[in-house]
Amino acid sequence: MRSSFGTSQTAPAAGQGTRIPVVVDAPDPISRAGAASELRRHPVIELVEDGRPGPDTVALLINDHLDEGLLTRMRKLVRSDGSRAVLVVGAIRENELLDVVECGVGAIVWRHEATAHRMVRAVVAASRGDGDLPGDLLGRLINQVGTLHRTSAGHPGGPSTGLTAREADVLRLVSEGLDTGEIAAKLSYSERTVKNVLHGITTRLHLRNRAHAVAYALREGYI
Where are any strands of DSSP class E within the chain? 5-6, 20-25, 45-47, 58-63, 84-89, 107-110, 131-132
When mean pLDDT is compared across 72-76, 158-162, 182-186, the lowest value belongs to: 158-162
- pLDDT tens-digit map of 125-146: 888 887 788 877 776 766 655 5
pLDDT over threshold 50, residue 158: no
Those residues whose C-beta lies under 8 Å from the C-beta of residue 28, and which sit 6 or more positions away, are: none
- pLDDT tens-digit map of 5-16: 444 444 444 444
Q: How far apart (Å, rounded) are the C-alpha atoms in residues 8 and 3?
A: 11
**Model pTM above 0.85:** no
Residue 34 confidence (pLDDT): 92
